[in-house]
Chain A
Amino acid sequence: MKPFVKPSVIPGFGLALGFTVLALMVVVLLPLSGLFVKTATMSFSEFWSTVTDPRAVHAYYITVTTALVAALVNVVFGLIIAWVLVRYDFPLKSLFDAMVDLPFALPTAVAGIALTALYAPGGWIGQMLPFKVAFTPLGITIALIFIGLPFVVRTVQPVLEDMERDWEEAATSLGANRLQVFRYVIFPHITPALMTGFAMAFARALGEYGSVIFIAGNMPMVSEIVPLLIVMKLEQYDYAGATALALVMLVFSFFMLLTINWLQKWGQNHAFPR
């Protein structure tokens, strides 16, 4: 039989693993399992009527569609930004490169109120537009574009950096024009990274709360997202209802996590031979 741990001269395995597992149990696993215990106390019909309530169904619809559109916008512009940062030189390049990380570093509530100030009807951008942005699903999408952008740029950028130019040279010398080189050489190479970035931005957007609630307006059946509905149920002490919705979201996130892992593996196998 194989031993649990491979023998080593390095000390501290018991202490390090013991503390790790204890902390993981107390902070993460035990509290998370409470969610499943709580759901188990509901009858199935209760659970079903909570998760299929029209207001909840509309919130799923808003959450998923805004997250999807935002992630797609980020794929297009994130690719252009990554491309420009890797391939071209321009003034203040390192400043713009650093700006990409801002959505990671800026607290979500700050992003939320700043975006609302910009896109509200009287705001800098809002007053220039003929249609309403803040307090509509479009406003939610804007907030989700903000928080998702670094995911796409930072997954595509390293792949573009590592890409050997030999393949492009070969294609060019065989007579391909620039568009053909991009379409048949570069794009297939970065597709896994683009899809991983898309999936990460989408997954993050599904659970996003802080940056969305200010700009969303939170009107039932119009611009209400699932995380907000959970918070409202918690505030009304409807713990069972909140748990049921949370479970739906968790199952969805788990599915997204599997997809991301699978995409990353695919990307590793998909890379050109060196």
Chain B
Amino acid sequence: MPETLRPMDESPALRFLLVGIALTFLGVVVGLPVVAVFVEALRKGFSAYAEGIMDPYALSAIRLTLLVAAIAVPFNLVFGVAASWAITKFDFWGKRFLTTLIDLPFSVSPVISGMIYVLLFGVHSALGSWLIDNNIEILFAVPGLVIATIFVTFPFVARELIPLMEEQGTEEEEAALLLGASGWQTFFSVTLPNIKWGLLYGVLLCNARAMGEFGAVSVVSGHIKGETNTIPLHVEILYNEYNFVSAFAVASLLTLLALVTLILKRIIEARTAHH
């Protein structure tokens, strides 16, 4: 059936122009950088690419990033569920203020997010000198990286769950409790199945940010090769050493992570759209 042009539609020429502008802009601004990562990484062939990734410092950066995410993401998962449970299943004084405070880390520059821990744990603070006297390393060590990562990814899970659980209300939980289920039974067999996709969505975004965080982690890391360098920090070092092929090779891993994250995000969105 030929498409008829209604007076409410734009002319085909204008449509074509607008689609052209939109896709060119998206292609140049967003698409090209991603293509550039892979082209630069493979510039000197596959063996140079593999060499960049299999380098012992790169491997230790990968291990460290996985370790940091393996602590920070579950922490924020538990925090996000607890915060959403308190905020959506109960009515209490100061609830809106609490929600605003949870979002706070999103509006702080990553550099400042790292810096507050330097001030807190650095040698000049009371806590910092106590830590040194007791030989506890936080700053320029793994615990500092973990806590800075927790800070920057703090709101992700809560932010996904709060609107979702708000919408679902409390009726199903009340019914389960009246039928004699315990609190934990109610959570695991009533609430959790209802929020699983939203929870997965939040965890996915939280993980992507945790593994890719640069500014905050850069400030607290101290950049010790093989010890406190996460993948993004390793990319920076390689790049500043003009070792471009290796820098882009390692960066391509993070790019793949971003692409996989987006694909999974789409799948979750498609699944939840049917409900």
Contact = CB atoms under 8 A, between A and B. Distances in A.
Interface string A79-116: 01101110010100010101111111111111101110
B30 A149 contact: yes
Contacts of B8: 165, 168-169, 172, 178, 181
Please classify how large the interface on chain A is, using the bins under 10, 10 to 19, 20 to 34, 35 or more. 35 or more
A225 to B, nearest CB: 10
A10 B173 contact: yes
A124 interface: yes
B105 interface: yes
A118 B36 contact: yes
B71 interface: no
Interface string B11-30: 00001001101110110111
A34 to B, nearest CB: 5
Nearest to B102: A24
A20 interface: yes
B117 A8 contact: no
Q: Is the interface of B mostly helix, strand, loop or mixed?
A: helix
Nearest to B250: A110
Given A28-B101, A113-B239, A243 B90 contact: no
A261 to B, nearest CB: 8
Given A24-B101, A34-B125, A115 B107 contact: no
Nearest to A233: B115
Interface string B47-88: 000000000000000000000000000000011001101110
Contacts of A271: none
Interface string B228-272: 000011011001000010011001001100110111011000000
Contacts of A187: none
A209 B147 contact: no
A209 B214 contact: yes
B151 A31 contact: yes
A242 interface: yes
Contacts of A239: 118-119, 122, 124
Given A105-B208, A114-B33, A96 B215 contact: no
Given A88-B19, A105-B261, A8 B89 contact: yes
A207 interface: yes
A195 interface: no
- Closest 7 pairs (CB-CB, A-B): A207-B109, A107-B212, A210-B214, A11-B183, A114-B33, A209-B215, A16-B86
Nearest to A81: B22
Contact of A99 (B30, B36, B124, B214): B30
Contacts of B87: 20
Given A16-B82, A20-B83, A28 B104 contact: yes
A19 B158 CA distance: 13
17 contacts: A10-B174, A20-B79, A23-B79, A29-B101, A32-B108, A80-B18, A88-B15, A99-B26, A101-B265, A106-B34, A108-B212, A109-B235, A109-B254, A110-B254, A114-B36, A149-B29, A249-B109
* Most chain A C-beta atoms within 10 Å of own C-beta, residue among B30, B31, B187, B232: B30
A167 to B, nearest CB: 11
Interface of A: 2, 4-6, 8-13, 15-17, 19-21, 23-24, 27-32, 34-35, 38, 77, 80-81, 83-85, 88, 90, 94, 96, 98-111, 113-115, 117-118, 124-125, 145-146, 149, 165, 168-169, 172, 178, 181, 203, 206-210, 214, 227, 230-231, 234, 239, 242-243, 246, 249-250, 253-254, 256-257
* Most chain B C-beta atoms within 10 Å of own C-beta, residue among A21, A32, A85, A90: A32
B178 interface: yes
A207 B110 contact: yes
B188 interface: no
Nearest to A246: B112
A20 B190 CA distance: 22
* Most chain A C-beta atoms within 10 Å of own C-beta, residue among B8, B86, B208: B86
Interface residues of B, number: 92
Contacts of A257: 107
A28 B106 CA distance: 11
A231 B92 contact: no
Contacts of A234: 115, 118, 219
B119 A110 contact: no
Contacts of A214: 239
Contacts of A80: 18, 21-22, 25
A236 B265 CA distance: 42
B26 A100 contact: yes
B19 A84 contact: yes
B258 A8 contact: no
Contacts of A165: 8
B136 interface: no
Interface in B205-234: 205, 208, 211-215, 218-219, 232-233
* Most chain A C-beta atoms within 10 Å of own C-beta, residue among B26, B78, B262: B26
